[in-house]
């Protein structure tokens, strides 16, 4: 621990960081301004010191061994709720800002930092705490007037210090699911607007209705799933003009906005409401709503600009997801067309892929396989013979015995199928279905001669399902076999062609009811 004498402002600072170099640099910067600094290398030792001393501000790192900065923050706010806490981080993000602010932090400092920025943060935090304690609105202003013009401009808007445009973009880019994007957008919006309530509406029913698909901060049942008329104001103008609407609502107990303000006693106070369009393909597809606190000050132009930037980033991410889904659907549609073309060439194997997929699903369920494997079977099962599209008709439809060369051509359908599907970046289990469904338990299968448990389980399951359908279906070279013959053959191949555990599951399941 290092201690420096107090001189100019009488500000006493607790500094907590496990990195020696950071503690030394920050202590030097802060002490040069005449402030007293007590530095600690761990949150645990700082907590002990905090209980017996008075500090004007606490600066703590986020990533520390043992007790983290956020955990320390929560304990510090319980022990000394009047002392402002500033978080230090080498990886600034909106997620961190949200968590830190919800836990009671007043600000955060990003590494690498500048001396001027640290001074601004410390002075603002201490001045704000004094204002709160004395309830003197001039105290903070007096402290701020001592700062340079640049510092005053930065202190005019809390958002400029917490939300940086590139940070918003990085935060949105971290997630890839719609619900996660909605949640992230709401969290960021509430930080920017300093609000407690936010929501996202989706334009539905041919632009006649707005349905709430995400919300944050609403008590009780909330407004999730509620529908609002897109033909009424203020929603109508936002959709039509593709421009935000900002208003101060005095009393919204009645009318189209009643549910949004439910539980807020705003009969005598104005409550800010911002409705911002989220555009996709130049059309308003969603609306972000921000409900301010009762009697809160108007949103600044900078805050609204950041909110609109947030809407743009989130909309672009959602649009990219939709585009990817459409492309993927188009690829699947094209593959299904290939499957249909294969079925049209070989009427004997028509619907073979779908039947095998259903048998494999029943087997996998009987073996209590995880949902991920069931999903892989559902997706890749119908595509497992896609490689046969490259087999000539004189071989594919041959009624006689295949020659050695023809057998090799038939065997190549598994590798050809994997090549066709490679651009889809299949999951390992999906790839295994296509590539290994003709491998054998005894190692005599193809294409690589895998043996026993080295064959992925999903392929072992598919091997039994594929054989079941092949034997119970009419082929160019023979008629369909009976159920009894099929059962006897599968049992005979237990431990040679098939995994014994899969065969056991086959006989214990009701799979034959569909044959």
pLDDT in tens, 329-374: 787 788 778 777 777 777 665 678 888 999 999 999 999 999 999 9
**Structure-block tokens of residue 342:** 């294969």
Could you say which DSSP state residue 347 is in? G
Cα→Cα distances 248→13, 34, 141, 294, 310, Å: 40, 45, 27, 10, 22
**Residue 461 burial by Cβ neighbours in a 10 Å radius (0-12, 13-18, 19+):** buried
Residues with pLDDT less than 70, the chain: 1-9, 52, 90-98, 112, 114-116, 130-167, 251-256, 263-269, 295, 347-350, 476-477, 512-515
pTM, two decimals, is 0.49
Q: pLDDT of 119-147, one tens digit each?
A: 777 887 887 776 555 554 444 344 334 43
Say whether 14 sits in a helix, a strand or coil.
strand
Residues 325, 326, 327, 329, CA torsion sign: positive
Q: Which tokens belong to 265?
A: 């006693």
What are the helix (H) ranges across 1-108?
20-32, 43-50, 69-79, 94-102
Residues 274, 246 contacting (CB under 8 angstroms): yes
Kindly give the interhelix angle for 352-366 and 371-380, rounded to the nearest 10 degrees: 170
CB 385, CB 420: distance < 8 Å: no
CA 354, 355, 361, 364 torsion-angle sign: negative
Residue 514's pLDDT is 52
Name the token pair of 345.
Answer: 């060439």
> HEC states along 351-402?
CHHHHHHHHHHHHHHHCCCCHHHHHHHHHHHHHCCHHHHHCCHHHHCCCCCC
pLDDT of residue 144: 38
């Amino acid at each position: 621990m290092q201690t420096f004498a107090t001189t100019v402002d009488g500000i006493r600072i607790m500094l907590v960081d496990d990195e020696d170099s950071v503690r030394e640099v920050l202590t030097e910067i802060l002490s040069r301004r005449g402030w007293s600094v007590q530095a600690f290398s761990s949150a645990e030792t700082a907590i002990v010191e905090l209980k017996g001393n008075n500090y004007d501000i606490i600066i703590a790192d986020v990533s520390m061994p043992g007790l983290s900065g956020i955990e320390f923050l929560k304990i510090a706010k319980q022990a000394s709720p009047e002392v402002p806490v500033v978080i230090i981080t080498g990886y600034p993000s909106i997620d961190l800002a949200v968590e830190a602010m919800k836990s009671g932090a007043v600000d955060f400092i990003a590494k690498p930092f500048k001396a001027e920025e640290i001074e601004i943060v410390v002075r603002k935090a201490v001045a704000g705490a004094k204002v709160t304690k004395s309830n003197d609105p001039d105290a903070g202003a007096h402290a701020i007037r001592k700062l340079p013009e640049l510092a005053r401009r930065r202190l005019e808007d809390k958002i400029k210090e917490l939300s940086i445009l590139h940070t918003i973009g990085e935060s949105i880019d971290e997630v890839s699911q719609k619900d996660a994007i909605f949640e992230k957008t709401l969290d960021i919006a509430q930080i920017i607007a300093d609000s407690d309530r936010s929501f996202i509406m989706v334009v539905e029913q041919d632009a006649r209705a707005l349905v709430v698909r995400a919300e944050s901060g609403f008590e009780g049942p909330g407004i999730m799933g509620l529908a609002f008329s897109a033909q009424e104001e203020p929603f109508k103008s936002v959709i039509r003009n593709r421009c935000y609407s900002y208003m101060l609502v005095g009393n919204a107990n009645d009318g189209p906005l009643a549910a949004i303000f439910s539980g807020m006693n705003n009969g005598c106070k104005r409550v800010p409401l911002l409705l911002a369009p989220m555009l996709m393909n130049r059309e308003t597809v969603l609306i972000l709503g921000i409900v301010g606190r009762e009697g809160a000050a108007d949103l600044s132009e900078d805050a609204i600009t950041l909110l609109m930037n947030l809407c743009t980033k989130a909309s672009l991410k959602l649009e990219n997801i939709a585009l990817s889904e459409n492309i993927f659907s188009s690829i699947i549609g094209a593959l299904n067309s290939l499957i249909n073309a294969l079925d049209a060439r070989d009427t004997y194997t028509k619907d073979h892929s779908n039947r095998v997929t259903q048998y494999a699903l029943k087997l996998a369920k009987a073996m209590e396989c995880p949902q991920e494997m069931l999903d892989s079977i559902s997706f890749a099962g119908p595509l497992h013979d896609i490689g046969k599209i490259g087999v000539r008709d004189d071989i594919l439809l041959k009624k006689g015995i295949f020659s050695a060369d023809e057998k090799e051509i038939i065997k190549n359908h598994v590798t050809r199928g994997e090549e066709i599907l490679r651009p889809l970046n299949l999951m390992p289990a999906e790839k295994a279905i296509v590539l290994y469904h003709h491998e054998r338990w005894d190692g005599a299968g193809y294409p690589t001669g895998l043996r026993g448990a080295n064959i992925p389980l999903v392929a072992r399951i598919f091997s039994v399902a594929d054989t079941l359908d092949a034997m119970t279906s009419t082929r160019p070279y023979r008629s369909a076999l009976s159920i009894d013959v099929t059962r006897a053959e599968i049992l005979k191949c237990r431990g040679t062609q098939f995994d014994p555990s899969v065969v056991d599951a086959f006989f214990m399941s009701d799979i034959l009811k569909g044959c």
